[in-house]
Amino acid sequence: MSEYAIEAAGLRRTYRSRTGWLRPQRREVEAVRGVDLTVGNGELFGLLGPNGAGKTTTIKLLNTLLIPTAGTARICGFDVVRQTREVRRRIGYVFGGDRGLYDRLSARDNLRYFAELYGVPGREQKRRIAELLELVRLAGRENERVEGYSRGMRQRLHIARGLLHRPRVLFLDEPSIGVDPVAARELRQTVADLAATGTTVLLTTHYMAEADELCGRIAVIAGGRIQALGTPAELRHHADGRRVLEVEAYGVTDERLAAIHALPRVREASLEVIGAAQVLAVQSDAGVDVQADVLRELDGVRLGRVTARQPTLEDAYVAIVNRVDERRSPEAVPA
Amino acid sequence: MTDLFRLVGTGGVIAYRALFNWTTPAMFVGTLLVGPLFQLLFFAYLGRQLGVADDRFYIVGNAVLAATLACVFGGTMAVSNERRFGTLGHVLLSPRSRTAVFLGRVLPYAGNGLLIAVTTLTAASFLLGLRVPVSALPALLLTLAVAALSCGFFGLALGAVGLRFRDVWLVSNVSVALLLLLTGVNVPAAELPAGMRVAGQLLPITHGAEAARRLVAGEGFGSATGPLAAEVAVGLAYAVLAAALLKIFEAESRRRASLDTL
């Protein structure tokens, strides 16, 4: 048995596309630019990053759906390019969203079909499907067509499908996207239970709280590269020596956010929409108070609660990702 | 071996229910039974008017042709609807043999095709007064089954193109029109230009229709074995082509990310 469940070294992937017939335009996008990581057996590992950071491409390279442009990857010691069948026997893949299931079939028939595809022996199928329906709390609804399922139910069915053949490594690509808070909490519990049984889980997510709660180690990926890797506590150090001013507001425009970010002594500024309100998080050095300057920039905007707090994992994540954006932005400006 | 049969049999039937668009009774009867019957009547009356050939020519030819709708579009749906449901990636992650997975999907479509051909032939025989020798029925059933299977493999080869090109329906629509034109079911092959005649020989149902016509004419199974063997050969060729295309396009999707960038 290999020491690591997942190993990647110098993994790169470039997408090449061509558009137009008369004057074809070729485009190259380097989605993954040299990812190195190892995930131990039974580890619950998080891969965090903004949209377009390379998370899904990395997963598709590891689960054999894509071939790397350069570099190597192994799952349970098997090469993802040359030993695809061995790799596929050992992995499960779950992604978020509404698609990925046969809408016209019931949950049971979806699982029956994928049980055939993933090689679950016939005599085991019935028992395994019943077990999984119980695990993801779909027992009793298994004979209904999937087209009538809520997103949370679909998501749980995705997980059941991913576990049919008892994979040693499970890739969860943003499994809680668009799922309501109660369903998301149930989902997290299911993932935690899986890890407890020894399944290696690689989880990608946008939700810091989710990663913080579940993952033993987290890699932050941005611009196609791993920018930081460590335990949640270690990652929090990226925001050490800072304080965060949090302002609840209604109607902060991108221009105002940019103006706040450009204020002297402001290190980071990010905006999150929560219900009808926006929450503006402004990071500065610990000994510096930027509240007056920020509120001046927000003149005319309806404001709610204003608080100062210690940095969280999310603040550390914003700091890491923004650092990458700042390094890359000069390249984007034409000379 | 049992697992392989389960994948082909049970898997094929579940995939048919999941992916075939015309499974509801109204869609099935309207699209696959009533539509082809009216098409048959149209060509039979047109043939009477023009005096090109007798009713038997059109009834048998169009009954065999009726199977193509389910088989060609079924094969296309077997792949392109995977894209629609977002399940293609999960199917491609299966460690099982692609050939078994996809060839298993052909069987329900071929069964469909056979049912449609038999129904169309029976209904048209009653409506237009065609008498089929009872002794020819077993061989006729075999011929229709071979033609439907051959057409199913043809449909799967077209469906495999869907792994590479998103607009595969275009290919299916054109193919159905070509089957109507080139297979000699409505225009006698002898009347076609040489190039079209040769192209027709390479398509499914051309030889099946010829064999069926000989059987209905009471010429006996011996006279139908030649075209029937040719139909088997054409069907096998499309089965091999479909398996090769699925393998090639899957490999290309991993290399060129064609499933992502399309």
Q: Which pLDDT band holds residue B97 (cuts at 50, 70, 90)?
A: confident
pLDDT of residue A328: 61
pLDDT of residue A1: 65
A312 and A276, same structural domain? yes
pLDDT of residue A210: 84
A252 and A214, same structural domain? no
Structural domain that includes position A255: 241-332
For residue A112, which residues of chain B lie inside 8 Å, CB to CB?
10, 14
A20 lies in some domain:
no
Higher pLDDT, B137 or A286: B137
A208 and A142, same structural domain? yes
Question: Checking DSSP bridges between strand A200-205 and strand A169-173, what pairing results, if any?
Answer: parallel
A182 and A132, same structural domain? yes
- Percent of chain B clearing pLDDT 90 (strictly above): 56
| pLDDT of A135 over the 70 cut | yes
Domain holding A263: CATH number? 3.30.70.1710
A252 and A224, same structural domain? no
Given A210, A230, A250, the domain boundary residue is: A230
Structural domain that includes position B149: 2-261
Which among A88, A103, A104 has CB closest to B93?
Answer: A88
| pLDDT of A25 over the 70 cut | yes
Which among B19, B85, B96 has CB closest to A117?
Answer: B96
The stretch B185-211 carries a mean pLDDT of 93
Helix axes B55-85, B2-19, angle to 10 degrees: 90
A218 and A249, same structural domain? no
Q: Can you list the alpha helix ranges (DSSP code H) found in A149-282? A: 151-163, 181-196, 208-214, 232-236, 254-261
Using the Cα atoms of residue A229, residue A230, residue A236 and residue A239 in order, give the sign of their dihedral.
negative
Domain holding A101: CATH number? 3.40.50.300
Which among A91, A104, A117 has CB closest to B17?
Answer: A104
A318 lies in some domain:
yes
A33 lies in some domain:
no
| Residue carrying structure tokens 């808070």 | A181
Give the number of other Cβ atoms within 10 Å of residue A315's Cβ.
Answer: 24
- A155 interfaces chain B, CB cutoff of 8 Å: no
| pLDDT of A334 over the 50 cut | no
What total number of domains does chain A contain?
2
Taking CA–CA distances from A145, the nearest residue in chain B reads: B18
A245 and A222, same structural domain? no
Which among A13, A89, A114 has CB closest to B90?
Answer: A114
CB-count exposure of residue B73 (10 Å: 0-12, 13-18, 19+)? buried
The first and second tokens of residue A198, run together, are 């020894």
The stretch B29-41 carries a mean pLDDT of 92
Q: Residues of chain B whose C-beta is under 8 A from some C-beta in A?
A: 2-3, 6-7, 10-11, 14-15, 17-19, 23, 85-87, 89-96, 101, 253-257, 259-261
Q: Can you list the alpha helix ranges (DSSP code H) found in A164-253? A: 181-196, 208-214, 232-236
Q: Which pLDDT band holds residue B69 (cuts at 50, 70, 90)?
A: confident
The answer to whether the CB of A245 falls within 8 A of the CB of A267 is no
In the beta sheet, which residues pair with residue A205? A48
A286 lies in some domain:
yes
pLDDT, chain B, mean: 90
What total number of domains does chain B contain?
1
Given A201, A230, A259, the domain boundary residue is: A230
Taking CA–CA distances from A108, the nearest residue in chain B reads: B14
ipTM: 0.87
Q: Which pLDDT band holds residue A128 (cuts at 50, 70, 90)?
A: very high
The first and second tokens of residue A124, run together, are 């085991």
**Model confidence pLDDT, tens digit, residues A211-236:** 888 899 999 998 899 999 999 888 88
The stretch B205-224 carries a mean pLDDT of 93
A75 lies in some domain:
no
**Model confidence pLDDT, tens digit, residues B107-154:** 999 999 999 999 999 999 999 999 989 999 999 999 999 999 999 999
A222 and A255, same structural domain? no
The first and second tokens of residue B100, run together, are 């078994």
| pLDDT of A183 over the 80 cut | no
- Percent of chain A clearing pLDDT 70 (strictly above): 96
**Model confidence pLDDT, tens digit, residues B13-27:** 999 998 888 888 888
Taking CA–CA distances from B15, the nearest residue in chain A reads: A113
| Residue carrying structure tokens 């043939």 | B47
Given A230, A262, A292, the domain boundary residue is: A230
For residue B91, which residues of chain A lie inside 8 Å, CB to CB?
117
A133 and A52, same structural domain? yes
CA dihedral B40, B41, B45, B50 (to 10 degrees): -10
